[in-house]
Structure 1
Protein backbone atom coordinates (compact mmCIF):
# COMPACT_ATOMS: atom_id res chain seq x y z
CA UNK A 1 0.00 0.00 0.00
CA UNK A 2 3.02 2.29 0.21
CA UNK A 3 3.11 3.14 -3.51
CA UNK A 4 -0.45 4.58 -3.64
CA UNK A 5 0.25 6.66 -0.54
CA UNK A 6 3.45 8.04 -2.04
CA UNK A 7 1.60 8.84 -5.28
CA UNK A 8 -1.13 10.69 -3.39
CA UNK A 9 1.44 12.67 -1.42
CA UNK A 10 3.20 13.61 -4.65
CA UNK A 11 -0.05 14.80 -6.18
CA UNK A 12 -0.89 16.81 -3.07
CA UNK A 13 2.55 18.40 -3.12
CA UNK A 14 2.15 19.32 -6.78
CA UNK A 15 -1.27 20.83 -6.11
CA UNK A 16 0.19 23.07 -3.41
CA UNK A 17 3.41 23.96 -5.22
CA UNK A 18 1.91 26.40 -7.71
CA UNK A 19 4.36 27.47 -10.39
CA UNK A 20 5.64 30.99 -10.93
CA UNK A 21 7.40 32.79 -13.79
CA UNK A 22 10.55 34.28 -12.20
CA UNK A 23 12.94 34.36 -15.17
CA UNK A 24 13.50 36.13 -18.47
CA UNK A 25 15.62 34.57 -21.19
CA UNK A 26 17.53 37.14 -23.27
CA UNK A 27 20.02 36.13 -25.93
CA UNK A 28 19.57 32.52 -24.86
CA UNK A 29 20.67 33.29 -21.29
CA UNK A 30 18.22 32.78 -18.44
CA UNK A 31 18.27 35.38 -15.68
CA UNK A 32 18.35 34.50 -12.02
CA UNK A 33 15.06 34.21 -10.18
CA UNK A 34 13.35 37.61 -9.75
CA UNK A 35 16.26 39.51 -11.28
CA UNK A 36 14.50 40.89 -14.37
CA UNK A 37 11.03 39.93 -13.12
CA UNK A 38 9.17 41.63 -10.28
CA UNK A 39 8.79 39.17 -7.43
CA UNK A 40 5.16 38.13 -7.15
CA UNK A 41 3.10 37.52 -4.01
CA UNK A 42 3.21 33.77 -4.70
CA UNK A 43 7.01 33.57 -4.97
CA UNK A 44 6.91 31.05 -2.14
CA UNK A 45 4.27 28.86 -3.84
CA UNK A 46 1.16 30.62 -2.63
CA UNK A 47 -2.01 30.64 -4.72
CA UNK A 48 -2.44 32.13 -8.19
CA UNK A 49 -4.78 35.07 -8.91
CA UNK A 50 -8.45 34.23 -9.51
CA UNK A 51 -10.06 37.71 -9.33
CA UNK A 52 -9.73 39.41 -12.73
CA UNK A 53 -10.86 42.72 -11.19
CA UNK A 54 -8.20 42.78 -8.47
CA UNK A 55 -5.33 45.25 -8.63
CA UNK A 56 -3.08 42.21 -8.23
CA UNK A 57 -4.31 40.95 -11.57
CA UNK A 58 -1.78 43.27 -13.20
CA UNK A 59 1.54 42.09 -11.79
CA UNK A 60 0.60 40.27 -8.55
CA UNK A 61 3.18 42.21 -6.55
CA UNK A 62 1.18 44.16 -3.95
CA UNK A 63 2.76 42.32 -1.03
CA UNK A 64 6.33 42.30 -2.28
CA UNK A 65 6.36 45.80 -3.78
CA UNK A 66 9.21 44.53 -5.89
CA UNK A 67 11.05 46.12 -8.76
CA UNK A 68 13.62 44.41 -10.92
CA UNK A 69 16.70 45.02 -13.01
CA UNK A 70 15.76 46.06 -16.53
CA UNK A 71 17.04 43.79 -19.31
CA UNK A 72 18.09 45.13 -22.72
CA UNK A 73 16.26 43.35 -25.56
CA UNK A 74 16.58 44.23 -29.25
CA UNK A 75 13.43 44.70 -31.27
CA UNK A 76 12.95 41.70 -33.56
CA UNK A 77 14.82 39.36 -31.21
CA UNK A 78 13.59 36.49 -29.05
CA UNK A 79 12.47 36.92 -25.46
CA UNK A 80 11.69 34.00 -23.18
CA UNK A 81 9.64 33.96 -19.98
CA UNK A 82 10.47 30.87 -17.94
CA UNK A 83 8.69 29.09 -15.11
CA UNK A 84 10.20 27.60 -11.97
CA UNK A 85 8.82 24.19 -12.99
CA UNK A 86 6.94 22.74 -15.93
CA UNK A 87 3.52 24.34 -16.42
CA UNK A 88 1.33 21.39 -15.53
CA UNK A 89 -2.23 22.77 -15.61
CA UNK A 90 -4.16 22.69 -18.92
CA UNK A 91 -4.78 26.16 -20.24
CA UNK A 92 -3.61 28.98 -22.46
CA UNK A 93 -1.04 31.78 -22.42
CA UNK A 94 -1.19 35.49 -23.17
CA UNK A 95 1.75 37.91 -23.09
CA UNK A 96 1.09 41.65 -22.85
CA UNK A 97 3.44 44.63 -22.93
CA UNK A 98 3.05 48.24 -21.76
CA UNK A 99 5.39 51.14 -22.53
CA UNK A 100 6.59 53.10 -19.53
CA UNK A 101 6.52 56.91 -19.81
CA UNK A 102 9.96 56.96 -18.18
CA UNK A 103 11.85 54.57 -15.93
CA UNK A 104 10.00 51.25 -16.02
CA UNK A 105 11.06 50.51 -12.44
CA UNK A 106 8.63 53.19 -11.22
CA UNK A 107 5.86 52.35 -13.72
CA UNK A 108 2.77 50.70 -12.26
CA UNK A 109 1.13 49.82 -15.58
CA UNK A 110 -2.14 51.63 -14.90
CA UNK A 111 -4.42 52.85 -17.68
CA UNK A 112 -5.18 51.70 -21.21
CA UNK A 113 -1.56 50.96 -22.00
CA UNK A 114 -1.35 47.19 -22.51
CA UNK A 115 -1.23 45.36 -25.85
CA UNK A 116 -0.89 41.67 -26.58
CA UNK A 117 2.24 40.41 -28.34
CA UNK A 118 1.92 36.64 -28.03
CA UNK A 119 -0.54 33.89 -27.23
CA UNK A 120 -0.78 30.11 -27.07
CA UNK A 121 -4.34 28.86 -27.51
CA UNK A 122 -6.09 25.48 -27.51
CA UNK A 123 -6.43 23.03 -30.40
CA UNK A 124 -9.93 21.69 -31.02
CA UNK A 125 -11.58 19.44 -33.61
CA UNK A 126 -15.26 20.19 -33.28
CA UNK A 127 -15.89 18.55 -29.91
CA UNK A 128 -14.05 15.23 -30.18
CA UNK A 129 -10.84 16.34 -28.45
CA UNK A 130 -9.20 19.44 -27.05
CA UNK A 131 -5.47 19.82 -26.42
CA UNK A 132 -3.32 22.45 -24.76
CA UNK A 133 0.03 23.20 -26.44
CA UNK A 134 1.03 25.45 -23.51
CA UNK A 135 0.83 22.55 -21.05
CA UNK A 136 3.99 20.78 -19.81
CA UNK A 137 6.26 23.55 -21.08
CA UNK A 138 9.21 25.02 -19.13
CA UNK A 139 8.40 28.49 -20.44
CA UNK A 140 7.48 30.43 -23.55
CA UNK A 141 9.56 32.26 -26.15
CA UNK A 142 8.28 34.86 -28.59
CA UNK A 143 9.61 37.61 -30.85
CA UNK A 144 9.65 41.22 -29.73
CA UNK A 145 7.90 42.96 -32.67
CA UNK A 146 10.46 44.49 -35.01
CA UNK A 147 8.53 47.75 -35.35
CA UNK A 148 7.96 48.20 -31.62
CA UNK A 149 9.22 51.67 -30.62
CA UNK A 150 12.37 51.74 -28.53
CA UNK A 151 11.95 52.36 -24.82
CA UNK A 152 11.27 50.70 -21.51
CA UNK A 153 8.38 48.28 -21.09
CA UNK A 154 6.66 46.00 -18.66
CA UNK A 155 6.16 42.56 -20.17
CA UNK A 156 3.43 40.53 -18.48
CA UNK A 157 2.71 36.84 -18.84
CA UNK A 158 -0.49 35.12 -17.80
CA UNK A 159 -0.95 31.39 -18.00
CA UNK A 160 -4.67 30.74 -17.54
CA UNK A 161 -5.21 27.35 -15.91
CA UNK A 162 -8.67 26.04 -16.83
CA UNK A 163 -8.91 22.71 -15.02
CA UNK A 164 -11.55 24.04 -12.58
CA UNK A 165 -12.88 26.96 -14.63
CA UNK A 166 -16.47 25.72 -14.92
CA UNK A 167 -17.64 28.20 -12.25
CA UNK A 168 -17.03 31.95 -12.04
CA UNK A 169 -13.67 32.66 -10.43
CA UNK A 170 -12.44 29.12 -11.01
CA UNK A 171 -9.87 29.99 -13.66
CA UNK A 172 -6.39 30.40 -12.18
CA UNK A 173 -4.05 33.10 -13.51
CA UNK A 174 -0.31 32.54 -13.10
CA UNK A 175 1.14 36.01 -13.60
CA UNK A 176 4.40 37.92 -13.54
CA UNK A 177 5.79 41.16 -14.96
CA UNK A 178 9.32 41.59 -16.26
CA UNK A 179 11.13 44.83 -17.05
CA UNK A 180 12.83 45.31 -20.41
CA UNK A 181 14.46 48.08 -22.40
CA UNK A 182 13.75 47.64 -26.12
CA UNK A 183 16.57 48.83 -28.37
CA UNK A 184 16.73 49.31 -32.13
CA UNK A 185 12.97 49.65 -32.39
CA UNK A 186 10.74 51.02 -35.12
CA UNK A 187 7.81 53.36 -35.53
CA UNK A 188 4.89 50.98 -35.11
CA UNK A 189 1.72 51.79 -33.19
CA UNK A 190 0.89 48.88 -30.88
CA UNK A 191 -2.75 48.09 -30.23
CA UNK A 192 -5.49 47.62 -29.47
CA UNK A 193 -4.71 49.00 -26.02
CA UNK A 194 -6.44 47.66 -22.91
CA UNK A 195 -6.30 48.20 -19.16
CA UNK A 196 -5.23 45.49 -16.72
CA UNK A 197 -7.33 44.92 -14.70
CA UNK A 198 -10.24 45.71 -16.97
CA UNK A 199 -9.38 43.58 -19.97
CA UNK A 200 -11.61 40.71 -18.72
CA UNK A 201 -14.91 40.43 -16.86
CA UNK A 202 -14.39 36.78 -15.95
CA UNK A 203 -17.40 35.74 -18.03
CA UNK A 204 -15.50 35.36 -21.30
CA UNK A 205 -16.07 31.97 -22.97
CA UNK A 206 -12.33 31.29 -22.80
CA UNK A 207 -12.23 31.93 -19.03
CA UNK A 208 -15.57 30.62 -17.74
CA UNK A 209 -15.53 27.19 -19.37
CA UNK A 210 -15.84 23.48 -18.61
CA UNK A 211 -13.01 21.88 -20.55
CA UNK A 212 -13.87 18.35 -19.45
CA UNK A 213 -17.48 17.62 -20.37
CA UNK A 214 -18.88 18.19 -22.82
CA UNK A 215 -15.60 18.73 -24.67
CA UNK A 216 -15.72 22.23 -26.18
CA UNK A 217 -16.23 22.26 -29.94
CA UNK A 218 -14.04 25.36 -30.17
CA UNK A 219 -12.09 27.69 -27.93
CA UNK A 220 -12.09 31.50 -27.92
CA UNK A 221 -8.85 33.05 -26.67
CA UNK A 222 -9.59 35.85 -24.20
CA UNK A 223 -8.25 39.33 -24.77
CA UNK A 224 -7.46 41.48 -27.79
CA UNK A 225 -5.79 40.34 -30.99
CA UNK A 226 -2.01 39.94 -31.01
CA UNK A 227 -0.05 42.94 -32.27
CA UNK A 228 2.83 41.55 -34.28
CA UNK A 229 4.26 44.85 -35.50
Structure 2
Protein backbone atom coordinates (compact mmCIF):
# COMPACT_ATOMS: atom_id res chain seq x y z
CA UNK A 1 0.00 0.00 0.00
CA UNK A 2 1.31 3.41 -0.82
CA UNK A 3 0.71 6.91 -2.11
CA UNK A 4 2.70 9.14 -4.45
CA UNK A 5 3.55 12.28 -2.49
CA UNK A 6 6.51 13.72 -4.39
CA UNK A 7 6.79 15.15 -7.89
CA UNK A 8 10.09 14.73 -9.73
CA UNK A 9 11.05 17.52 -12.14
CA UNK A 10 13.85 16.73 -14.61
CA UNK A 11 15.25 14.13 -12.17
CA UNK A 12 15.09 16.49 -9.16
CA UNK A 13 12.91 15.49 -6.20
CA UNK A 14 10.67 18.28 -4.95
CA UNK A 15 9.28 18.48 -1.40
CA UNK A 16 6.46 16.09 -0.41
CA UNK A 17 3.04 17.52 -1.33
CA UNK A 18 4.69 20.66 -2.74
CA UNK A 19 2.99 20.15 -6.12
CA UNK A 20 0.68 17.26 -5.25
CA UNK A 21 -2.81 17.41 -3.78
CA UNK A 22 -2.88 16.03 -0.26
CA UNK A 23 -5.20 13.13 0.47
CA UNK A 24 -7.32 12.38 3.52
CA UNK A 25 -7.15 9.23 5.67
CA UNK A 26 -9.86 6.62 5.41
CA UNK A 27 -12.80 7.64 7.62
CA UNK A 28 -12.94 6.36 11.18
CA UNK A 29 -15.60 6.76 13.84
CA UNK A 30 -12.93 7.96 16.26
CA UNK A 31 -10.27 10.29 14.83
CA UNK A 32 -8.08 9.56 17.84
CA UNK A 33 -7.12 6.26 16.24
CA UNK A 34 -6.09 7.61 12.82
CA UNK A 35 -2.61 6.41 11.86
CA UNK A 36 -0.42 6.57 8.78
CA UNK A 37 -1.97 3.23 7.82
CA UNK A 38 -5.25 5.08 7.20
CA UNK A 39 -3.56 7.35 4.65
CA UNK A 40 -2.24 4.52 2.51
CA UNK A 41 -5.48 2.56 2.36
CA UNK A 42 -6.39 1.98 -1.31
CA UNK A 43 -9.51 3.04 -3.15
CA UNK A 44 -11.77 0.14 -4.09
CA UNK A 45 -14.77 1.87 -5.71
CA UNK A 46 -14.12 2.65 -9.40
CA UNK A 47 -17.27 4.80 -9.52
CA UNK A 48 -16.08 7.21 -6.81
CA UNK A 49 -14.82 10.70 -7.67
CA UNK A 50 -11.90 9.88 -5.38
CA UNK A 51 -10.60 7.78 -8.25
CA UNK A 52 -9.49 11.04 -9.86
CA UNK A 53 -6.87 12.20 -7.38
CA UNK A 54 -7.19 10.17 -4.21
CA UNK A 55 -9.33 10.31 -1.10
CA UNK A 56 -10.92 13.76 -0.72
CA UNK A 57 -8.55 15.28 -3.29
CA UNK A 58 -10.87 16.09 -6.18
CA UNK A 59 -10.43 19.69 -5.02
CA UNK A 60 -7.06 21.00 -3.87
CA UNK A 61 -7.25 21.89 -0.17
CA UNK A 62 -3.55 22.10 0.60
CA UNK A 63 -2.83 24.84 -2.01
CA UNK A 64 -0.15 22.93 -3.95
CA UNK A 65 2.18 24.87 -6.23
CA UNK A 66 1.94 24.50 -9.99
CA UNK A 67 5.02 23.02 -11.65
CA UNK A 68 5.94 24.64 -14.96
CA UNK A 69 7.44 22.22 -17.50
CA UNK A 70 8.04 22.21 -21.21
CA UNK A 71 6.40 19.66 -23.46
CA UNK A 72 9.00 16.92 -23.82
CA UNK A 73 10.41 17.37 -20.30
CA UNK A 74 11.00 14.45 -17.96
CA UNK A 75 8.87 14.35 -14.83
CA UNK A 76 8.01 11.63 -12.34
CA UNK A 77 6.46 10.59 -9.04
CA UNK A 78 8.04 9.09 -5.92
CA UNK A 79 6.34 6.85 -3.38
CA UNK A 80 5.82 7.34 0.38
CA UNK A 81 8.58 9.87 1.01
CA UNK A 82 6.57 11.67 3.69
CA UNK A 83 7.90 11.25 7.21
CA UNK A 84 5.83 12.01 10.28
CA UNK A 85 2.28 11.51 9.15
CA UNK A 86 -0.21 11.80 12.03
CA UNK A 87 0.57 8.65 14.00
CA UNK A 88 -1.23 8.20 17.29
CA UNK A 89 -1.69 5.09 19.40
CA UNK A 90 -2.89 2.53 16.87
CA UNK A 91 -0.30 0.08 15.43
CA UNK A 92 0.97 0.29 11.87
CA UNK A 93 1.98 -2.62 9.65
CA UNK A 94 5.73 -2.12 9.08
CA UNK A 95 5.72 -3.30 5.45
CA UNK A 96 3.43 -0.42 4.53
CA UNK A 97 6.20 2.03 5.32
CA UNK A 98 8.39 0.70 2.54
CA UNK A 99 8.96 3.43 0.00
CA UNK A 100 8.02 1.47 -3.09
CA UNK A 101 5.05 0.23 -5.10
CA UNK A 102 4.41 -2.64 -2.76
CA UNK A 103 1.79 -4.45 -4.85
CA UNK A 104 2.31 -5.84 -8.37
CA UNK A 105 0.20 -4.39 -11.14
CA UNK A 106 0.07 -1.88 -14.00
CA UNK A 107 1.13 1.76 -13.70
CA UNK A 108 -0.36 4.57 -15.78
CA UNK A 109 -0.11 8.38 -16.02
CA UNK A 110 -2.84 10.76 -17.20
CA UNK A 111 -3.44 14.41 -18.09
CA UNK A 112 -6.64 16.43 -17.76
CA UNK A 113 -6.78 20.09 -18.92
CA UNK A 114 -7.94 22.79 -16.51
CA UNK A 115 -8.42 26.54 -16.43
CA UNK A 116 -8.15 27.16 -12.69
CA UNK A 117 -6.27 24.30 -11.04
CA UNK A 118 -7.14 25.45 -7.52
CA UNK A 119 -10.85 24.92 -8.23
CA UNK A 120 -10.66 22.20 -10.89
CA UNK A 121 -12.30 18.91 -9.89
CA UNK A 122 -11.19 16.70 -12.78
CA UNK A 123 -14.45 16.85 -14.72
CA UNK A 124 -12.82 17.36 -18.13
CA UNK A 125 -11.64 14.37 -20.19
CA UNK A 126 -8.53 12.46 -19.14
CA UNK A 127 -5.83 11.23 -21.53
CA UNK A 128 -3.42 8.39 -20.77
CA UNK A 129 0.17 9.36 -21.62
CA UNK A 130 2.03 6.40 -20.08
CA UNK A 131 1.40 2.73 -19.42
CA UNK A 132 3.89 0.45 -17.67
CA UNK A 133 3.11 -3.25 -17.76
CA UNK A 134 6.29 -5.12 -18.69
CA UNK A 135 9.76 -4.51 -17.29
CA UNK A 136 11.81 -1.54 -18.49
CA UNK A 137 15.20 -0.05 -17.70
CA UNK A 138 13.61 1.60 -14.65
CA UNK A 139 12.39 -1.68 -13.15
CA UNK A 140 14.07 -2.96 -9.99
CA UNK A 141 14.58 -6.55 -8.79
CA UNK A 142 11.83 -7.35 -6.25
CA UNK A 143 12.99 -7.96 -2.67
CA UNK A 144 10.99 -11.19 -2.30
CA UNK A 145 11.26 -14.70 -3.72
CA UNK A 146 8.40 -14.50 -6.22
CA UNK A 147 10.64 -14.04 -9.23
CA UNK A 148 7.71 -14.40 -11.63
CA UNK A 149 6.61 -10.97 -10.44
CA UNK A 150 9.58 -9.51 -12.28
CA UNK A 151 7.21 -9.39 -15.22
CA UNK A 152 5.41 -6.36 -13.74
CA UNK A 153 7.51 -3.36 -14.68
CA UNK A 154 6.75 -1.04 -11.77
CA UNK A 155 6.60 -3.65 -9.01
CA UNK A 156 8.56 -2.44 -5.94
CA UNK A 157 9.95 0.59 -7.79
CA UNK A 158 10.38 3.58 -5.43
CA UNK A 159 9.68 6.11 -8.20
CA UNK A 160 8.96 6.36 -11.89
CA UNK A 161 10.02 8.91 -14.52
CA UNK A 162 8.32 9.60 -17.84
CA UNK A 163 8.09 12.23 -20.56
CA UNK A 164 5.35 14.77 -21.13
CA UNK A 165 4.57 14.24 -24.86
CA UNK A 166 6.38 16.85 -26.96
CA UNK A 167 3.18 17.78 -28.78
CA UNK A 168 1.11 18.39 -25.62
CA UNK A 169 -0.85 21.65 -26.04
CA UNK A 170 0.23 24.44 -23.70
CA UNK A 171 -1.92 25.01 -20.65
CA UNK A 172 -2.73 23.93 -17.11
CA UNK A 173 -3.28 20.25 -16.30
CA UNK A 174 -3.86 17.80 -13.54
CA UNK A 175 -1.14 15.19 -13.85
CA UNK A 176 -2.45 11.92 -12.43
CA UNK A 177 -0.55 8.75 -11.57
CA UNK A 178 -2.35 5.46 -10.98
CA UNK A 179 -1.24 2.00 -9.98
CA UNK A 180 -3.75 -0.85 -9.87
CA UNK A 181 -3.42 -4.02 -7.83
CA UNK A 182 -5.63 -6.49 -9.77
CA UNK A 183 -7.65 -8.58 -7.33
CA UNK A 184 -10.97 -10.41 -7.86
CA UNK A 185 -13.91 -9.56 -5.64
CA UNK A 186 -13.93 -11.93 -2.66
CA UNK A 187 -10.34 -13.15 -3.02
CA UNK A 188 -9.01 -13.45 0.54
CA UNK A 189 -11.96 -11.31 1.63
CA UNK A 190 -11.03 -8.53 -0.80
CA UNK A 191 -13.48 -5.94 -2.08
CA UNK A 192 -11.70 -6.22 -5.41
CA UNK A 193 -9.09 -4.25 -7.35
CA UNK A 194 -7.13 -1.66 -5.40
CA UNK A 195 -6.42 1.76 -6.89
CA UNK A 196 -3.54 3.97 -5.77
CA UNK A 197 -3.82 7.46 -7.29
CA UNK A 198 -2.50 10.98 -6.77
CA UNK A 199 -2.52 14.23 -8.77
CA UNK A 200 -0.02 17.04 -9.29
CA UNK A 201 -0.60 20.56 -10.59
CA UNK A 202 1.17 21.18 -13.88
CA UNK A 203 1.49 23.94 -16.44
CA UNK A 204 2.86 22.90 -19.80
CA UNK A 205 4.75 25.32 -22.02
CA UNK A 206 5.08 24.37 -25.68
CA UNK A 207 7.19 26.43 -28.08
CA UNK A 208 6.95 23.75 -30.75
CA UNK A 209 4.13 22.10 -32.66
CA UNK A 210 1.21 21.05 -30.48
CA UNK A 211 -1.40 18.48 -31.50
CA UNK A 212 -4.98 18.23 -30.37
CA UNK A 213 -5.92 14.98 -28.68
CA UNK A 214 -8.44 12.84 -30.58
CA UNK A 215 -11.72 11.95 -28.92
CA UNK A 216 -10.89 8.24 -28.98
CA UNK A 217 -8.13 8.88 -26.42
CA UNK A 218 -10.37 10.79 -23.99
CA UNK A 219 -12.20 9.20 -21.07
CA UNK A 220 -14.01 10.29 -17.96
CA UNK A 221 -12.76 9.48 -14.47
CA UNK A 222 -14.69 7.91 -12.87
CA UNK A 223 -16.16 5.99 -15.77
CA UNK A 224 -12.99 4.55 -17.26
CA UNK A 225 -13.41 1.34 -15.21
CA UNK A 226 -16.41 -0.66 -14.04
CA UNK A 227 -16.77 -2.80 -10.94
CA UNK A 228 -15.88 -6.40 -11.77
CA UNK A 229 -14.19 -5.51 -15.09
CA UNK A 230 -12.33 -8.69 -16.13
CA UNK A 231 -9.00 -7.02 -16.94
CA UNK A 232 -8.50 -5.64 -13.43
CA UNK A 233 -10.61 -7.91 -11.25
CA UNK A 234 -8.53 -11.04 -11.66
CA UNK A 235 -5.93 -12.82 -9.58
CA UNK A 236 -2.46 -12.07 -10.89
CA UNK A 237 -0.55 -12.20 -7.61
CA UNK A 238 1.05 -15.04 -5.64
CA UNK A 239 -2.00 -17.22 -6.15
CA UNK A 240 -0.92 -17.87 -9.73
CA UNK A 241 2.83 -18.09 -10.16
CA UNK A 242 2.50 -19.30 -13.77
CA UNK A 243 0.69 -16.18 -14.93
CA UNK A 244 2.36 -14.66 -17.99
CA UNK A 245 2.07 -10.89 -18.11
CA UNK A 246 1.97 -11.07 -21.90
CA UNK A 247 -1.47 -12.67 -21.57
CA UNK A 248 -2.84 -9.75 -19.57
CA UNK A 249 -5.29 -7.53 -21.45
CA UNK A 250 -4.69 -3.90 -20.62
CA UNK A 251 -7.87 -1.83 -20.08
CA UNK A 252 -8.43 1.16 -22.36
CA UNK A 253 -8.01 3.80 -23.49
CA UNK A 254 -4.86 3.62 -25.60
CA UNK A 255 -1.83 5.72 -24.69
CA UNK A 256 -1.65 9.11 -26.42
CA UNK A 257 1.94 9.65 -27.54
CA UNK A 258 1.35 12.96 -29.30
TM-score w.r.t. the length of structure 1 is 0.81
Structure 1 stretch 134-143 or stretch 200-209: which is displaced more? 200-209
Equivalent residues of 2:166, 2:210 under 8 A apart: no
Deviation at 1:213, TM superposition (A): 3.0
User: How many residues were matched structurally?
Assistant: 203
Equivalent residues of 1:91, 1:122 under 8 A apart: no
Residue 114 of structure 1 is aligned with which of 123, 126, 138? 126
Could you say if the C-alpha distance between residues 184 and 139 of structure 1 is closer, same or farther in structure 2, counting changes exceeding 3 Å?
same
Matched, 1:93 2:93: no
Query: Whole-Å Cα distance in 2 between the matches of residues 45 and 148 of structure 1?
Result: 37
Partner in structure 1 of residue 235 of structure 2: 210
Equivalent residues of 2:169, 2:210 under 8 A apart: yes
The structure whose residues are more often strand, as a share, is 1
Runs of at least 5 residues in structure 2 that lack an aligned partner in the other structure: 27-35, 81-98, 136-147
Partner in structure 1 of residue 202 of structure 2: 180
Q: Secondary structure at the match of 1:117?
A: strand
Query: Whole-Å Cα distance in 1 between the matches of residues 13 and 178 of structure 2?
Result: 19
Partner in structure 2 of residue 7 of structure 1: none
Equivalent residues of 1:56, 1:62 under 8 A apart: yes
TM-score w.r.t. the length of structure 2 is 0.73
Runs of at least 5 residues in structure 1 that lack an aligned partner in the other structure: 1-17, 124-128
Equivalent residues of 1:19, 1:45 under 8 A apart: no
Equivalent residues of 1:150, 1:184 under 8 A apart: yes
Equivalent residues of 2:43, 2:55 under 8 A apart: no
